[in-house]
Amino acid sequence: MLGNFLKRDGKVAMIALSNLLSAVAQILHLALQIYMWLIIARALISWVNPDPYNPIVRFLYNVTEPVLSYIRRSLPLVFGGLDLSPLVVLAAILLLDYFLVQTLFDWSYSLKQVR
């Protein structure tokens, strides 16, 4: 009887861990998607002459500039006045989304299959 309880309790723990990993993967996916759209909006706004005192422009710059400036310092990707650092950040976001998030989902699914 105690063996059945421990076996069932272990299964419950695995299901709980599986659900936790699935929730973390979903939150990470959502955060990456939101940041991706912020980077795209920042790149689109940079094509026009935005008002630097506009609260939306300031928000986009404050949220995206730390990552973009790090990429610019690490990889000088400016060709003829065209800054390609947003493309590098978008590629990194997509890599994380397709690899890390999918790995977390797969790991979550495999934990549910443990008997």
- What confidence tens digit (pLDDT) does each residue in 4-22 have? 444 556 677 788 888 999 9
**Which residues sit opposite 79 in a β-bridge?**
82
Instruction: Using the predicted structure, report yes or no on whether residue 2 has a pLDDT greater than 50.
Output: no
Four-CA torsion 94, 99, 100, 106, nearest 10 degrees: 140
Number of folded domains that form the chain: 1
How far, rounded to the nearest angstrom, does the alpha carbon of residue 88 sit from its chain's CA centroid?
14
Mean pLDDT of 12-34: 91
Instruction: Identify the pLDDT of residue 10.
Output: 66
Instruction: Identify the pLDDT of residue 63.
Output: 97
Residue 71 belongs to domain spanning: 2-112
The angle, 0 to 180 degrees and rounded to 10, between the axes of the packed helices 2-46 and 85-95 is 160
0.85 surpassed by pTM? no
Mean pLDDT of 52-81: 89
